[in-house]
Amino acid sequence: MLVSAKEMLVKAREGKYAVGQFNINNLEWTKAILLTAQENNSPVILGVSEGAGKYMGGFKTVVGMTKGLIEELSITVPVAIHLDHGSYDGALKAMEAGFSSIMFDGSHYDIKENIAKTKAIIDIAHNRELSVEAEVGSIGGEEDGVVGSGEIADAAECKAIAELGVDMLAAGIGNIHGKYPENWSGLNFEALGNIQDATGNMPLVLHGGTGIPEDMIKEAISLGVAKINVNTECQLSFAAATRKYFEAGKDLEGKGFDPRKILAPGFEAIKSTVKEKMELFGSVNKA
């Protein structure tokens, strides 16, 4: 069922586990993630960047596809469709299209403008009973054209944003989008602890979940992280499985050129990756 992310994240924070946000790019991605969530009785958040939404034909297409799959596949676990790193205009369009959760990323504005724009989005979204994620301190790396330098979020600024009434807060603590470099210094848990102290029971969000060591993931969850975003890891597993299919010449055997056959190994690879993350995050049997 399609729901706001608020309740699932409050439960996750109280239960000391995290709900995975897995970004979708097409029907295979969406179907694989929904089926895995159902099989593992886990709540799940489907992340959609503005670029991915455009690629899939628009936000209304994404909502229609997801609702159709939920009904046809008999998905009963809580599912949120969440705009990832949305602009102000993008957030408005996603709400109109039927998204159940919105991230407005105002981290590239000064804190005063970030607060003003975030407050406006919260007012609109909460009138529609949608959940809102905000960001303080840009996340490192690049995702869909959104570039962050990897700032450490200021706890006082996090407190100011949290007090606006957001449902979840993404705070930069040294995490980055994409692959982590060999010289990455790791997550800044002192900063995370300060942010937790400043924001109280606010569910915190960890972007750039691909490649963070398991012990760091578990420590982050213990410090209030209730939502962890995974995108690159699913892309990598999909690409590796698809490459293996072609390198083995499977596309030349019988009707191996059928796109349903070509995409099947990548589909299963996504399911495997998502299951692994759900187990690590502790969300299995928490629906």
Helix H, strand E, coil C: the string for the chain is: CECCCHHHHHHHHHHCCCEEEEECCCHHHHHHHHHHHHHCCCCEEEEEEHHHHHHCCCHHHHHHHHHHHHHHCCCCCCEEEEEEEECHHHHHHHHHHCCCEEEECCCCCCHHHHHHHHHHHHHHHHHCCCEEEEEECCCEEEECCEEECCCECCHHHHHHHHCCCCCEEEECECCECCCCCCCCCCCCHHHHHHHHHHHCCCCEEECCCCCCCHHHHHHHHHCCEEEEEECHHHHHHHHHHHHHHHHCCHHHCCCCCCHHHHHHHHHHHHHHHHHHHHHHHCCCCCC
Residue 146: pLDDT above 80?
no
Distance CA 7, CA 12 (A): 9
For residues 284 and 210, the model is more confident at: 284
Q: 138-142, 188-192, 246-250: which range is least confident on average?
A: 138-142
pTM of the predicted protein model? 0.92
Please report the pLDDT score of residue 186 as a whole number: 79
Residue 198: pLDDT above 60?
yes
Binning pLDDT at 50, 70 and 90, where does residue 262 land?
Answer: very high
Residue from 142, 122, 147, 124 nearest 132 by CA: 122
Which segment, 59-68, 155-164, 188-197, 214-223, is predicted with the most confidence on average? Answer: 59-68
Residue 206: pLDDT above 70?
yes
Distance CA 131, CA 3 (A): 9
For residues 184 and 214, the model is more confident at: 214
Mean pLDDT of the chain: 92
Please report the pLDDT score of residue 171 as a whole number: 85
To the nearest 10°, report the CA torsion of 217, 238, 24, 227.
Answer: -10
Distance CA 8, CA 157 (A): 25
Q: Which residues contact 28 (CB under 8 A, 6 or more apart)?
A: 263, 266, 267, 270
Q: What is the pLDDT of residues 61-108, one digit of tens each?
A: 999 999 999 999 999 999 999 999 999 999 999 999 999 999 998 888
Task: Exactly one of 84, 105, 154, 167 is catalytic; name it.
Answer: 84
Q: Does the annotation mark 258 as catalytic?
A: no
Q: 177-186, 227-236, 245-254: which range is least confident on average?
A: 177-186
Please report the pLDDT score of residue 147 as a whole number: 41
* The two three-digit tokens of residue 175, written as one number: 């995490």
Calculate mean pLDDT across residues 253-257. Answer: 97
Residue 145: pLDDT above 80?
no
Binning pLDDT at 50, 70 and 90, where does residue 150 land?
Answer: low
What is the CB neighbour count within 10 angstroms for residue 68?
A: 12
Residue from 261, 268, 232, 235 nearest 246 by CA: 261
Calculate mean pLDDT across residues 267-287. Answer: 98
Distance CA 215, CA 224 (A): 15
Residue 141: pLDDT above 80?
no
Please report the pLDDT score of residue 209 as a whole number: 64
Q: Output phi, psi for 101, to 5 deg.
A: -155, 145
Q: What is the pLDDT of residues 210-229, one digit of tens each?
A: 778 899 999 999 999 999 99
Contacts for 260-263: CB closer than 8 Å, 24+ residues apart: 263/28
Calculate mean pLDDT across residues 254-280. Answer: 98
Binning pLDDT at 50, 70 and 90, where does residue 208 land?
Answer: confident
Please report the pLDDT score of residue 9 as a whole number: 98
Residue 149: pLDDT above 50?
no
Please report the pLDDT score of residue 175 as a whole number: 74
Distance CA 132, CA 6 (A): 8
Residue 176: pLDDT above 90?
no
